[in-house]
Amino acid sequence: MIENKGVFTKILAILGTVLVGLPILAPILFSVVRLLQSGRFMLDYLMPAELFPLVLVGGGLLLWAALRRRRFRGLIGWGLGGAVILLVGSQALAVATGLASGATQPGGWQWVLVLGGLIAFILAVILTGVGGALLTRDVFKQA
C-alpha cells in the first residue's frame, strides 16, 4: 500500500478536522462564556445546523485526505453522508409537520421527531470529527 503522508494530506486533515469540529465546539464555548458573564447557562442547540457549511467543507477536505491516505474513508464518508441526510431530513420533517412555519406548536411527537433528527445529525458530525482526528493522528504517526 502506498503511504501518502505528504504535507498536502496533513493540511487537508488538520483543516478538515478543525472545520468539522467548530460547529460542535462553538455553542459549548459560547455557553461557557455566557455562563461566566451572566451566571445563566444558555446553549444554542441549533448552532451546529446553522454552521452546516463548515461541516460540509471540512467533511469534504477530510474525505479528500482520507482518499489520499486510503484510511478512514468509511468512517468519514458515512459520518458526512449521514450528517447531510439527517439535516435535510429533519428540516423536511419540520416543514411537513408545520413546526417550521409555526402552524404547529413545539411539543408532541412532531417536536420529538424533528429534535431526534437534529440530535442524530449532531452525532453524525461528531463521528466525522472523530474520523478526522484519527486521520490526522495517522498522517503524523511515525512509520
Residue pair 3/111 in contact (Cβ under 8 Å)? The answer is: no
What integer pLDDT is reported at residue 104 of this predicted model? Answer: 83
Residues of the chain with pLDDT under 50: 1
Rounded to two decimals, the pTM is 0.90
Distance CA 86, CA 98 (A): 18
Helix axes 7-38, 108-140, angle to 10 degrees: 130
Q: Show me where the domains of the chain are located.
A: 7-140
**Predicted confidence (pLDDT) per residue in 19-46, tens digit:** 999 999 999 999 999 999 999 999 999 9
